[in-house]
Structure 1
Amino acid sequence: MKSVTIYDTTLRDGTQGEGFQLSGLDKLRIAKRLDAFGVDYIEGGWPGSNPKDVEFFREAKSLGLKHAKLAAFGSTRRANTAVEDDPQVKLLLEAETPVVTIFGKSWELQVTQILRTTVEENQAMIRDTVAFLAKHGREVIYDAEHFFDGYKDGAEHALATLKAAADGGAACLVLCDTNGGTLPHEIEEICKAVREHIPGTAIGIHTHNDCELGVANAVAAVRGGASQIQGTINGYGERTGNCNLTSVMPILQLKMGIEVVPNMAELRSLSYFVDDVSNNPNFARAPFIGRTAFAHKGGMHVNAVQKLARSYEHIPPASVGNEQAILVSELSGQSNILLKAEQMGIPLEKGSPEVAAILGKIKSLENEGYSFEAAGGSLELLMLRELGNYKRPFEANEYHTSFRQYRDGHPPVCEATVKVTVNDEKELTVAEGNGVVNALDIALRKAVLPFYPEIAEVSLVDYKVRILDGHDATAAKTRVLISSGHAGDTWSTVGVSENIIEASWIALVDGIDLFLQRRK
């Protein structure tokens, strides 16, 4: 039996976060993925609160979860209302989930000022609701809302509310740091006090991240005796978010030796899946699973990890599904260049004049505003050119762009003219597009296509603009990063100029150039 179980509330508490929205189908897809990953509980939402959750619980009956238990979420009965007459409690039973999680008030201030009822009635509300649901065969988890604030304000009252839930038959008493303001040492001490006061019932922890301590507080709770952690994938949730399961799970399993899921190597894939389904960008600097979590930029660091990875990596990246990344910049040393060249399949020898030349070129270009950290395609071209085994597939001779705005209601027209030379043959093309860069892209492809028909399969995946030296306002130098793709492979190229069109042109040409270099 696990010493700590994972309770995921991404589908309920996570959706309370700004910018995190899920359709009914999205919730079903994420639930299946969470089950496959191995979390123990999946909180699906609040039955009856909205049509989306009604649909979810109806469809979830046929999900066929293999490991996780599905939980419906709700509240204690209303004050001065018989539990069997409370429509919200009835809906919790109608969801037909094996687990029901209810929350109640632990803070006397909330009881008297928000619920406007008595302490005695509040405890009866907790006890009655838990007992009613347990009588109907549900595993009942009790979320003690505002527990830590309530305990610090009046420990006797807060503990009495937990005792009411335990007397009603709750399987787990979850202590909630609802306002996210409690510190780790307080969490650990209070959890130990609860364990001593109510020894017969398991306790859990539900933390928020308002002090950037959601994960630290969950770990402190485990040290204090908690055996269930509630949280969300990627830390989504109200205000600044909830305890981030993608951080706390590897801490428990890889750092503390507490097994929580069967295969932690699937963690990064799960994290990216939830981001993609919710249409949110992946957080590059996220611990464990972020793109930069195991990225090395400084020359001394790269030299060290080349010899012994754990000298600058606290865990093997593959243990959470991530990978080591070597960045190349003006801070690079020869080790960065050699490792990057090896990854690209470009032969380079340590101490060779070619390595020094490449390093010098990178430092010079970065001083002009170039950045090769996210532009591996441009870096690859730079290496090929410096090594002398580069043959330009086409010469980009000229380009011209125009934008015409009409006053008679005619849609504006953006046009680009491109002239290239391939094997001494000149090609001149004109194309219209939805903007200057789009028109240039179409015209360039059109010009090169008769000679290299394979570029028809290349697509523009992403386009990013960064203004450098903003104090120059509209005359500032601009960096453009363009990502291109073909058959599941993507590469990025960079251009820099005071003219955004010129910067875009440099990146566009390099993107096609690199594709053709790789096709040789």
Structure 2
Amino acid sequence: MTSDPLWLYDTTLRDGAQREGISLSLDDKLRIARQLDHLGIPFIEGGWPGANPKDVQFFWHLRENPLTQAEVVAFCATRRPHRRAAEEKMLEPILAAGTRWVTIFGKSWDLHVTEGLKTTLDENLAMIADTIEFLSSQGRRVIYDAEHWFDGYGDNPAYALETLKTAREAGAEWLVLCDTNGGTLPDRVGAIAQEVKDALGEGNCLGIHTHNDSGTAVANALAAVQAGARMVQGTINGYGERCGNANLCTLIPNLQVKLGYNCISETQLGSLSETSRLISEMVNLAPDDHAPFVGLSAFAHKGGIHVSAVQRNPRTYEHIDPAVVGNRRRIVISEQAGISNVLEKARRFGLDLDRQHPLSREILARLKTLEHEGYQFEAAEASFELLIREALEQRRSRFELKGFDVFCRTDSAAWDETMSSQSLATVKLTVDGQEMLTAAEGNGPVSALDAALRKALIPFYPVIAQFHLTDYKVRILDGRAGTSAKTRVLVESSNGRDRWTTVGVSVNIIEASYQAVVEALEYGLLLEDQYQPLGEPSRC
């Protein structure tokens, strides 16, 4: 490992969330932040306080329940032209967020100053200096993002450098060079980063922030690091506006395994693939199976010369050991593929499986069958634990479904904004030999079905009243099949103490939802059984 420090800065929750198709709830943002904290990311940009109520609540929640090691960073622009930063209303929520670090972005390109801000070059420098000095006077440590740096430097290098010097003299601790339009190529990024380092002198903390519009965001970031940048900004899975940002799931292994920088611990690096897939589920986007390092196919081998060679010596067709990044080798024709993952998951659930026991093979075979059908257990560990417990005959039968019906009604004569929809679900099931037939309404079919199930089960399992559905995600697995497409449903639930996620798959979205909701209730009861003190009878 090199002795030079290197700092990772994640902007998934702000820049990444600007990707078309991503819409994060407050709970999504909090879960992602804690996953990034677990991964060992030093800086996590949480958003722009004041831009929307969600970001204000996000910072408030983390003040009440801090992360374990990461610095949460608030993001904002410099003050507006011809105002004083101390009187700038936009900066009040930034201070109220209570973060130690604040990232401020300012204009580096004279074109943006004159055409975008409609102000003078001198006033832009004053905006940078005044904003950073004010935040510093309030006890904040400042990261300065030099927006459109490479375009600005190309057009007017003297002025672009002046913006950086102004930020440094005002108290910014990091100066981040941003390829905002994503149009610069690696050789130019490296050369300019070196020129900036030479111009500002040794000891200045330079960072790099790249976009992928030319398909070179990762290569650009690596070039900047090799030229002296010591902060690397990016997003998980490369999420971001237009073509995305530099992908941290590709950058981190390249920086740590290939270039020798100590970015995160080896254990944390080993959770990178899991983090990539988990966050893809949280943002409700399909994981990229062919993503470098973390993709499902990144270390897959399909027959012929490749398979025979890699079985003798993995180095023949693998540039690193997949386990380093938490991935696995997949040999399609081998029954061994994935057994280690099954055993590891079982250990995490407190279940002891022997590699050689026939049940281990049966679980793996069942897992492969379900994955082929469209199930995804990366973000639905509760369903996977129930699957293993069923194989071990440790899955308690709580009730037996006899059937259910769901009826949807639309109360409007026309399709307009005043139209309302109501759903009615009836459920017939047996519990301990007793037959129950219940009905309940909801504002949608899943809501009604959940309500009917609860109504039937609460008399037998009162603790279910404490369970709440906290998230519901739907993904169409084969869109080309049209209305006959298979659907995967992920349901996240909570009892106020724990959170767990379950999955269902079917060509019928109601059936898929039912599978996920039923397993959510079942797993919640399993957790309650595990929390019962010794000697105290379970109410479940």
TM-score by length of structure 2 reads 0.63
Residues 2 and 260, structure 1, Cα contact 8 Å, conserved in 2: no
Once the two structures are TM-superposed, the CA of residue 62 in structure 1 deviates from its matched residue by 1.9
Give, in whole Å, the separation in 2 of the partners of 1:218 and 1:161: 21
Q: What is residue 283 of structure 1 aligned with on the other side? A: 288
Gap change, CA 1:341 and 1:142, over 3 Å in 2: closer
Residues 329 and 337, structure 2, Cα contact 8 Å, conserved in 1: no
Q: What is residue 201 of structure 1 aligned with on the other side? A: 204
- Please report the RMSD computed on the Cα atoms of aligned residues, expressed in angstroms: 3.2
Which secondary structure state, in structure 2, belongs to the residue aligned with residue 61 of structure 1? helix
Give, in whole Å, the separation in 2 of the partners of 1:17 and 1:237: 4
Once the two structures are TM-superposed, the CA of residue 242 in structure 1 deviates from its matched residue by 0.5
Once the two structures are TM-superposed, the CA of residue 170 in structure 1 deviates from its matched residue by 0.3
Matched, 1:268 2:270: no
Aligned length: 364
Q: Deviation per CA, 1:176-199: give whole Å up to 9, x if none.
A: 000000000000000011111112
Q: Deviation per CA, 1:234-273: give whole Å up to 9, x if none.
A: 1111001001001000100011110101120010111112
Q: Deviation per CA, 1:412-451: give whole Å up to 9, x if none.
A: xxxxxxxxxxxxxxxxxxxxxxxxxxxxxxxxxxxxxxxx
Once the two structures are TM-superposed, the CA of residue 63 in structure 1 deviates from its matched residue by 2.5
Residues 375 and 491, structure 1, Cα contact 8 Å, conserved in 2: no
Once the two structures are TM-superposed, the CA of residue 208 in structure 1 deviates from its matched residue by 0.3
Which secondary structure state, in structure 2, belongs to the residue aligned with residue 65 of structure 1? coil
Whichever residue aligns with residue 276 of structure 1, its letter is E
Matched, 1:221 2:208: no
Percent identity of paired positions between Structure 1 and Structure 2? 48
Matched, 1:254 2:257: yes
Q: Deviation per CA, 1:144-191: give whole Å up to 9, x if none.
A: 000000001110010000011001010000000000000000000000
Q: What is residue 323 of structure 1 aligned with on the other side? A: 328
Gap change, CA 1:170 and 1:300, over 3 Å in 2: same
Which secondary structure state, in structure 2, belongs to the residue aligned with residue 74 of structure 1? strand
Which secondary structure state, in structure 1, belongs to the residue aligned with residue 197 of structure 2? helix
Specify which of 164, 167, 173 is matched with residue 165 of structure 1: 167
Whichever residue aligns with residue 311 of structure 2, its letter is Q
Residues 328 and 338, structure 2, Cα contact 8 Å, conserved in 1: no
Gap change, CA 1:128 and 1:480, over 3 Å in 2: closer
Give, in whole Å, the separation in 1 of the partners of 2:204 and 2:43: 18
Gap change, CA 1:324 and 1:110, over 3 Å in 2: same
Specify which of 38, 57, 60 is matched with residue 58 of structure 1: 60
Once the two structures are TM-superposed, the CA of residue 463 in structure 1 deviates from its matched residue by 8.8
Whichever residue aligns with residue 46 of structure 2, its letter is G
Question: Residues 284-303 of structure 1 correspond to what in structure 2 (within 5 A)?
Answer: 284-303=289-308
Gap change, CA 1:462 and 1:32, over 3 Å in 2: closer
Once the two structures are TM-superposed, the CA of residue 58 in structure 1 deviates from its matched residue by 1.1
Matched, 1:147 2:160: no
Residues 375 and 481, structure 1, Cα contact 8 Å, conserved in 2: no
Bigger Rg over Cα: 1
Question: Residues 71-470 of structure 1 correspond to what in structure 2 (within 5 A)?
Answer: 71-199=73-201, 200-262=203-265, 263-327=268-332, 336=333, 339-340=334-335, 375=372
Gap change, CA 1:294 and 1:142, over 3 Å in 2: same
Which secondary structure state, in structure 2, belongs to the residue aligned with residue 194 of structure 1? helix
Give, in whole Å, the separation in 2 of the partners of 1:292 and 1:96: 42
Which secondary structure state, in structure 2, belongs to the residue aligned with residue 287 of structure 1? coil
Whichever residue aligns with residue 30 of structure 2, its letter is L
Give, in whole Å, the separation in 2 of the partners of 1:133 and 1:319: 41
Residues 144 and 174, structure 1, Cα contact 8 Å, conserved in 2: yes
Residues 43 and 73, structure 2, Cα contact 8 Å, conserved in 1: yes
Give, in whole Å, the separation in 1 of the partners of 2:479 and 2:17: 31
Long gaps (5+) in structure 2: 340-368, 375-473, 489-500, 508-540
Give, in whole Å, the separation in 2 of the partners of 1:304 and 1:376: 30
Once the two structures are TM-superposed, the CA of residue 28 in structure 1 deviates from its matched residue by 1.1
Give, in whole Å, the separation in 1 of the partners of 2:87 and 2:325: 48
Once the two structures are TM-superposed, the CA of residue 219 in structure 1 deviates from its matched residue by 0.3
Q: Deviation per CA, 1:296-329: give whole Å up to 9, x if none.
A: 11411001001001110011011001001113xx
Residues 47 and 73, structure 1, Cα contact 8 Å, conserved in 2: yes
Q: What is residue 15 of structure 2 aligned with on the other side? A: 13
Give, in whole Å, the separation in 2 of the partners of 1:299 and 1:481: 32
Gap change, CA 1:311 and 1:134, over 3 Å in 2: same
Gap change, CA 1:290 and 1:86, over 3 Å in 2: same
Residues 79 and 117, structure 1, Cα contact 8 Å, conserved in 2: yes
Whichever residue aligns with residue 10 of structure 2, its letter is D
Gap change, CA 1:31 and 1:342, over 3 Å in 2: closer
Once the two structures are TM-superposed, the CA of residue 465 in structure 1 deviates from its matched residue by 5.5
TM superposition outliers: structure 1 runs of 4+ over 6 Å = 341-344, 479-483, 488-492
Residues 284 and 475, structure 2, Cα contact 8 Å, conserved in 1: no
TM-score by length of structure 1 reads 0.65
Long gaps (5+) in structure 1: 328-335, 345-371, 378-460, 469-473, 493-499, 501-520
Q: What is residue 452 of structure 2 aligned with on the other side? A: none
Specify which of 27, 30, 47 is matched with residue 29 of structure 2: 27
Residues 376 and 491, structure 1, Cα contact 8 Å, conserved in 2: no
Give, in whole Å, the separation in 2 of the partners of 1:490 and 1:301: 35
Give, in whole Å, the separation in 1 of the partners of 2:337 and 2:49: 55
